[in-house]
Structure 1
Amino acid sequence: MAGELPVRHALPELLSALDAHGTAVLTAPPGSGKTTVVPLALADAGLRVLVAEPRRLAVRAAARRMGVSYAIRGERHTGADPRVEVVTTGLLLQRLQHDPELPGADVVVLDECHERHLDADTALAFLLDVRETLRPDLRLLATSATADAAPWSRLLGGAPVVAASGTPHPVETVWAPPARPLPPPHGMRVDPALLAHVAQVVRRALAERQGDVLCFLPGTAEIARVAGLLRDVTNDMNGGNGGNGGNGEGGGDGVEVLQVHGQAPARVQDAVLSPGTRRRVVLATSVAESSLTVPGVRVVVDSGLAREPRTDHARGLGSLTTVRVSRAGAVQRAGRAGREAPGTVYRCWTEAEHERLAEHPRPEIALADLTGFALQAACWGVPDAAALALLDPPPDAAMAAATATLTDLGALDGGRVTARGRRMAGLGLHPRLARALIDAGPRAAEVVALLSEQLPRDAGDDLVEVWRSARRGGDAFASRWRQEVRRLSRSLAPGGGGAAGNGGAAGRAGTFQSGDTSEGVGASRSHRDTGSRGGGGLGDDAFAGLVVALAFPERVARRRGGGYLMASGTAAALGEGSRLAGAPWLAVAVADRPTGSASARVRQAVEIDEATARLAHPVTAEEEVAWRVPPGERRGDVSARVVERLGAIELSSAPLPDADVRAALLHGLRTEDVLTWTRDALAVRARLAFCHRAVGEPWPDVGGAGPGMEALADLADRWLEPELSRARRRADLERIDVAAALLCLVPWSERLEAVAPERVQVPSGSRVRIDYSQERPVLAVKLQELFGWDGAPSIAGVPLLVHLLSPAGRPVAVTADLASFWRDGYRAVRAELRGRYPRHPWPEDPLTATPTSRTNRRT
């Protein structure tokens, strides 16, 4: 094998680097033999080798090709060569936690580091810690299919970089974009037109090239769709969740189709890794990108899409989203075509689009739910992960959310891992599922096994029905499920499901037996102090609901309108035609939030009752005094009550008499037009606002002339007492005489009438109201009443702005300089209006005329 692959030329340099430095980074392009040749060469040098791969499929493939032992979750195989063992990075983490010295290993090879899986990044950080403190003799080798090795070299303390150049065989690139631009992927949705185009490109590749075809697609649903589109030219061997009648195989002499993904059964994986008797089309997710040689493949068809995790930490929801593959990922995929002979890659996008792709995929630590990572770090002794040697630090928000979750689960107490947390970490599950398994007992293994696997594509949203189907089924999914149930059952310590050790909050458990009811479960009971020891005689529905609620307490949901409200505060909706529709309570096992949607979409759930919800999630009873606007209403009012809540879900409420409602009333004043603003009230406020603008202190800032301003609420102690002290509700505020109350804001040393008089006397003898609602005070008066007045007075040093009105009360001129108006503007106004209003005086000289508010006598 070593004589055929390019990596052989780098072996002497690599062995020398490891001997001299103890660490090294190997860069080698896809297909160069780094995964299978290097471990055997290290073994031939007298070292016991532990190889860590990011995927289970890669573990089985590499071990089979080398003839060595391997171990994955729930499966262990002893190979002919005992010097090398291949494991998943997740299993390596468990071994490190169990025994950090890794007895029996002289060198650890972390393969495909460039993919930046979270487990791989964590394992390398732990190994560097081990090498520094416990085993300086432990050698570490990081391998990458990309040439960007500098970051890894720095992380490994200046480790030498060994480059294996060249590829086994050249790979020709064929650009094969759709005939017309198609919409980009949105969330999990991929345009069916793109999948149809991918199927067409596969047909083209079968016609134009020899050898098997490996086609990369983002997920199992897309694989199934393309397989269906190819059915007329192939006979299908279906690797997906027991499709094709449940037997997973097709017959006949046509092209064979294999559907390969992380959940594919072992027999399909074996079929992929063995030479075929017919020409084959392998439809695969990114699990086939690296560390995997598919015999016979000469052609790769790349859809250009991949799936990345997304986590909504605020809502506690995780999902996958479809993204464009990175350039590094595209190179990895193309390399599958040149492993055994010259090959071809058909890329379903343009060369120009290729140049715009991201150079590398985003590291999983920046995208994923970090609850499991945070527990691993806490068990290692670095709860905040700050001391770990990581290429990228975990995001603060994600770590804060993870720490809060672990604290609620009882895995952390004051930031330190508890004995319960260590037990959870040892189960090889997400901490949420580990909590459910521990607290609900051995029987929970069946439900937890469902939650830890990707469910069949055709599984409905009723998890109990999925459970019953798995019990009955004989397909690949049922087989994997039973295997995981056995593993989980074995993993539980003797005595089953109680919390172990000091347990933190969740460890202070009571019991949940079949006779428990909601009676006696008070508001202070919560998942922190109500564990379960086996579920007693609960039926499937009730027990499955309990397990799901224990694992995801914030997803307990109560019916609200046409949908549901989760304890986390997130709205949720069932799919159309759901069998769970109408259930008053749900324990939601799987949910995601579609891109751009504020509501979660329920994928799998179980109907539960309120008693189970109370057992799983903390229930609080709080006094609530607030200004509330009822749903569907626009007007709020004071709400004073005792409220019992399960997270964001309101369970019950009772009136709270004699509560201090002052803060609520003030909030109403700030946010709504609660007071009754009469004309007189608005006028008084406008005068006060003018005084503050014109004079300043000691006149207060009342915030303008309109109602509902926050400034007035801040002054409530000065102008709304004692009315505010007596008020209990909105109606009491509405009855306040606002004009009279506002006068309390006049400084004791001032008189409002002296600074901002309400009215001013004009030459006709009329007392005309001044409008203070504008930036300058306005005097609006009929023109005839001002004859002989060559200047309006000033108010607090601000000249009045005079609006001269016609006899009908309509403005005909605006001026702050009356003398100028009489001299320059009056003639035009007189010429225009005296014919229209002949009974009113229009003298030629207004300065000598007698001012009047009356009309001329009839002649």
Structure 2
Amino acid sequence: MIELPIDSALPSLVDKLRDHSNVVLVAPPGAGKTTRVPLALLEEPWLAGRKILMLEPRRLAARSAARFMAASLGESVGERVGYRVRLDSRVGPKTGIEVITEGVLTRILQADPALEDVGLVIFDEFHERSLQADLGLALCLQSQSFLREDLRLLVMSATLDTEPVAALLGNAPVIQSEGRIYPVETQYVERSRDESIEPLVVRAIQQSLQQDPGDILVFLPGAGEIGRVEDRLVEVGLDKQVMICPLYGNLSQDAQDKAIAPSPPGTRKVVLATSIAETSLTVEGVRVVVDSGLMRVPRFSPRTGMTRLETVMVSRASADQRRGRAGRLAPGKCYRLWTRQEDLRLLPQGTPEISQADLVPLALELAAWGISDPAELSWLDPPPKGAFDQACALLRQLGALGGDGKITSHGRQMADSGLHPRLAHMIVQAIPLGYGGLACELAAILSERDIFRASGMNDGDICLRVEALRADTEDLYGVDKAALRRARTEAKHWKRVFQIPLNNESSEISASGLLLAFAYPDRIAQGRGGGRYLLRNGRGAALAKDQPLAEEPYLVAVELDDQGAEGRIFLAAPVELSNLMGCFREQVEIESVVAWDRSAQAVRARKRERLGSLILKEVNMTDANPEATVAALLDGILEEGLEILPWTKAARQFQYRLQFMHRQNPTWPDMSESVLKDRLFEWLGPHLYGLRSREDLQSLNLVPIFEAMLSWEQRRELDESAPTHMHVPSGQRIPIDYSVPESPVLAVRLQEMFGLAETPMICRGRVPLTLHLLSPAHRPVQVTRDLANFWRETYFEVRKDLKGRYPKHYWPDDPWNAIPTNRVRPRG
């Protein structure tokens, strides 16, 4: 057997695990820890005939590790070494090492919390900090504390901050394997700001094929970029001896095996991979790494309840892992498609998935474990409270949790399935309706890559995917055949799990929308026209242009983003209102709404049936509560402004007179607009019964309404201190303008004031009126509050001007003793 760097650390590891329950092992990429450690521990006496479980973050890595270890024992997979991943298992009665994906461990723990037949659980590549790995470790630690003191835990990683992990494991000993990595030359490649990554990757590959020996491993963020780079490489025309091999999780097993197998003699291989090739997985023959520096991670938004894939820069740890792949067998080279300055700004580690993931599955698993508060477990990073609370709220809506936060029998059935809680709930709800088979098909479609995503088809109707799944052929335009085959296999698997006869498939694909409404009750959407929709949770969403679904009155938006004010809907299904009203009857709220309708300028009373933010049905009410009608009318007045009221001259003058009195004595009512609005119900509310509209308001008389605000003494005092009119020397009764409360105005023609020596006073002689003395044409010629001074100092200058402009009028030399007149001249 070839010696590997990890071999020198194995004796120490074996010794530590004999004396300690928990150990941390750190070894660089390519050291061999994944395939050597389990075999070195297989015959340890403390196992006492129990098996070793080793967790891998990906199915491909689990299968590959199991095959390699089995081959090194000269056996087939399923004998002493086996694996268990979703939809695939190779284990037998003699299996002592099971390589499993992280979700499988959770299922094993839920079925057997004590792990009676397990002696050691190995968490491989723990630095990736997947949600399932964090959960599995937390549950294993509690099982170890309360049920199995003899259970051993081993955490392994290539790049890990060991202190927090060791502390979490009870100050576990840490073993370091120095490893043997050949020198790797690193070359940085600058990219212009507007340049996409694909042409840069292609140029780097072409350069390496000309300059460097060995196979090339290229890291790209996702399958979309892999496909585009592959197309460009075909276009540029590589040497016939160069094979292009994609490598990502949803590829067929044959395609994955081809990518990781050694290149045939005389050929070279360019492997286009996602981060799946960073750890655990050995891609044979690689001497060169081309690193785009990008990776795709899920980001869950508690604000919207939706998860989106986001492309981000890799961390320092991931970049080093990727570069290390070039130095496993011999000196290598790494092309980093970013600058040295950008390299200095890389984050040390990636963000743990638990801090940014959809926590609905986690919350259900904890409830099934018997825990409602995550603080009862030991975590490296605890779940964020806001996201966890939101997850529990959805589980209560799905009926998985009761009001006390404990799991229900329905929730237990959902958890036992291993499906995402949304999809498990959908299938359980669909079975009694006769749609169990269709629900399993929908679950399979949603669990895989969209079978039409690569086709460019601009139709997000999920019903088309169900038709493709049921078709007799795979030769459909633009269909991803591998994804289609996986979806068909998975649909059959879920039908077996839920005991649905395979030949009992409902042909009613039109029921897809209803079933998806069970899974995504928060994403039931009501049309607003033009492909725009309102979701039940209050968010806006929109379909892409020219979508046939855009005319549907109701949809279930299965896949959408949460960018901006309106998310984009990528995948949806139509649903009938009658189905929503029937199946969600218990969640429909009936409310009476009496509110101001601005477009109608009237109060409208309606009875509504509401599902969250969606108004499913609305009818007018004729027997609205009178108090509610008055309150709505008051709201309308505040919304439109007080100008909606019938402000006659008399009403406005009365308001101004009262405001003048308030200025003199604050115990009088404050009639300013702000106070009238604040106290609208008090002074106006009692007078609005029987009124509903702006037109009805015009029947009000504000003067007696304002009078009602005064005591009997105040009414009498108002006429005495703030009279509406003033009698002037000409005998005329002139109105007083109180619109400026601090300075009431009497606007009167100058000729009508002859013979009056002093300024008229109001408020029992305390406040002089501001006189606006007018010309015969009623234009102001003088403003004064001192009439005597005007006659004495200013009148004669004004007289000259007026006499010139109005020569026929009476302009006496002695205004003190002249006859006042409202005519051209006084009557003789």
Q: TM-score of the superposition, structure 1-length normalised?
A: 0.80
What's the offset of the Cα at 1:126?
0.7
Cα distance in 2 for residues equivalent to 1:266 and 1:384: 40
Q: Does 2:547 match 1:578?
A: yes
Preserved contact between residue 219 and residue 291 of structure 2 (Cα < 8 Å): yes
Cα distance in 2 for residues equivalent to 1:108 and 1:800: 97
Task: Indicate which of 697, 714, 719 corresponds to 1:733.
Answer: 697
Cα distance in 2 for residues equivalent to 1:127 and 1:595: 38
What's the offset of the Cα at 1:232?
2.3
Amino acid across the alignment from 2:182: H
What's the offset of the Cα at 1:450?
1.2
1:257 equivalent in structure 2: 244
Summarize the alignment of residues 258-337 of structure 1 with structure 2, pairs less than 5 Å apart.
258-277=245-264, 278-313=267-302, 315-337=304-326
Task: Tell me the SS of whatever aligns to 2:221.
Answer: coil
Greater per-residue helix proportion: 2
Q: Does 2:652 match 1:653?
A: no
Q: Once the two structures are superposed, what CA deviation does each residue of 1:724-765 show, in whole Å capped at 9, x if it has no partner?
A: 222234433343223432332335663472798365859878
Task: Tell me the SS of whatever aligns to 1:202.
Answer: helix
Task: Indicate which of 151, 173, 176 corresponds to 1:163.
Answer: 176
Task: Tell me the SS of whatever aligns to 2:164.
Answer: helix
Q: Does 2:6 match 1:3?
A: no
2:78 equivalent in structure 1: none
Task: Tell me the SS of whatever aligns to 1:119.
Answer: helix
Q: Does 2:450 match 1:450?
A: no
2:518 equivalent in structure 1: 550
Task: Tell me the SS of whatever aligns to 2:161.
Answer: coil
Cα distance in 2 for residues equivalent to 1:28 and 1:230: 35
Q: Does 2:484 match 1:478?
A: yes
Task: Tell me the SS of whatever aligns to 2:618.
Answer: strand
2:477 equivalent in structure 1: none
1:202 equivalent in structure 2: 205
Summarize the alignment of residues 2-81 of structure 1 with structure 2, pairs less than 5 Å apart.
3-5=3-5, 7-43=6-42, 45-46=44-45, 47=47, 48-67=51-70, 68-78=81-91
Q: Is the alpha carbon distance of 1:705 and 1:160 closer, same or farther for their aligned partners in structure 2, counting shifts above 3 Å?
A: same
What's the offset of the Cα at 1:69?
1.6
Task: Tell me the SS of whatever aligns to 1:416.
Answer: coil
Preserved contact between residue 218 and residue 270 of structure 2 (Cα < 8 Å): yes
1:469 equivalent in structure 2: 468
Preserved contact between residue 128 and residue 352 of structure 2 (Cα < 8 Å): yes
Q: Is the alpha carbon distance of 1:764 and 1:147 closer, same or farther for their aligned partners in structure 2, counting shifts above 3 Å?
A: farther
1:418 equivalent in structure 2: 408
What's the offset of the Cα at 1:433?
0.6
Preserved contact between residue 747 and residue 772 of structure 2 (Cα < 8 Å): yes
Amino acid across the alignment from 1:601: R
Task: Indicate which of 616, 621, 637 corresponds to 2:602.
Answer: 637
Q: Does 2:363 match 1:350?
A: no
Amino acid across the alignment from 2:545: E
What's the offset of the Cα at 1:72?
0.6
Consecutive unaligned residues of structure 2, counting only runs of 5 or more, are 71-80, 475-480
Q: Once the two structures are superposed, what CA deviation does each residue of 1:220-255 show, in whole Å capped at 9, x if it has no partner?
A: 2222122222222457xxxxxxxxxxxxxxxx8242
Preserved contact between residue 630 and residue 685 of structure 2 (Cα < 8 Å): no
Cα distance in 2 for residues equivalent to 1:223 and 1:104: 42
Amino acid across the alignment from 2:646: T
Task: Tell me the SS of whatever aligns to 1:644.
Answer: strand
What's the offset of the Cα at 1:551?
1.9
Preserved contact between residue 309 and residue 320 of structure 1 (Cα < 8 Å): yes
Amino acid across the alignment from 1:4: L
Task: Tell me the SS of whatever aligns to 1:280.
Answer: strand
What's the offset of the Cα at 1:452?
1.7
Amino acid across the alignment from 1:125: A
Summarize the alignment of residues 218-617 of structure 1 with structure 2, pairs less than 5 Å apart.
218-233=221-236, 253-277=240-264, 278-313=267-302, 315-414=304-403, 415-441=405-431, 442-443=436-437, 444-456=439-451, 457=453, 458=455, 460-471=459-470, 472-474=472-474, 475-493=481-499, 538-563=506-531, 564-588=533-557, 590-596=558-564, 598-617=565-584
Indicate the larger mover: 806-815 or 136-145.
806-815
Cα distance in 1 for residues equivalent to 2:591 and 2:294: 52
Q: Is the alpha carbon distance of 1:216 and 1:727 closer, same or farther for their aligned partners in structure 2, counting shifts above 3 Å?
A: same
Q: Is the alpha carbon distance of 1:855 and 1:214 closer, same or farther for their aligned partners in structure 2, counting shifts above 3 Å?
A: farther
What's the offset of the Cα at 1:305?
2.4
Task: Tell me the SS of whatever aligns to 1:35.
Answer: helix
Task: Tell me the SS of whatever aligns to 2:679.
Answer: helix
Preserved contact between residue 541 and residue 607 of structure 1 (Cα < 8 Å): no
1:101 equivalent in structure 2: 114
What's the offset of the Cα at 1:581?
4.3
Cα distance in 1 for residues equivalent to 2:469 and 2:765: 88
Task: Indicate which of 730, 734, 746 corresponds to 2:710.
Answer: 746
Number of positions where the alignment pairs a residue of Structure 1 with one of Structure 2: 780
Consecutive unaligned residues of structure 1, counting only runs of 5 or more, are 183-191, 236-251, 498-533
Summarize the alignment of residues 92-171 of structure 1 with structure 2, pairs less than 5 Å apart.
92-165=105-178, 168-171=181-184
What's the offset of the Cα at 1:270?
1.1
Q: Is the alpha carbon distance of 1:773 and 1:449 closer, same or farther for their aligned partners in structure 2, counting shifts above 3 Å?
A: farther
Amino acid across the alignment from 2:483: F
Q: Is the alpha carbon distance of 1:720 and 1:76 closer, same or farther for their aligned partners in structure 2, counting shifts above 3 Å?
A: closer
Preserved contact between residue 721 and residue 762 of structure 2 (Cα < 8 Å): no
Q: TM-score of the superposition, structure 2-length normalised?
A: 0.82
What's the offset of the Cα at 1:796?
11
Amino acid across the alignment from 1:369: D
Indicate the larger mover: 371-380 or 435-444.
435-444
What's the offset of the Cα at 1:313?
4.2
Q: Does 2:645 match 1:675?
A: yes
Task: Tell me the SS of whatever aligns to 1:417.
Answer: coil
What's the offset of the Cα at 1:455?
1.6
Cα distance in 2 for residues equivalent to 1:790 and 1:359: 90
Q: Is the alpha carbon distance of 1:201 and 1:567 closer, same or farther for their aligned partners in structure 2, counting shifts above 3 Å?
A: same
Cα distance in 1 for residues equivalent to 2:127 and 2:814: 93
Cα distance in 2 for residues equivalent to 1:547 and 1:356: 47
Amino acid across the alignment from 1:735: S
CA RMSD after TM alignment: 4.2
Identical columns (%): 37
2:633 equivalent in structure 1: 665
Preserved contact between residue 746 and residue 770 of structure 2 (Cα < 8 Å): yes
Amino acid across the alignment from 1:651: L
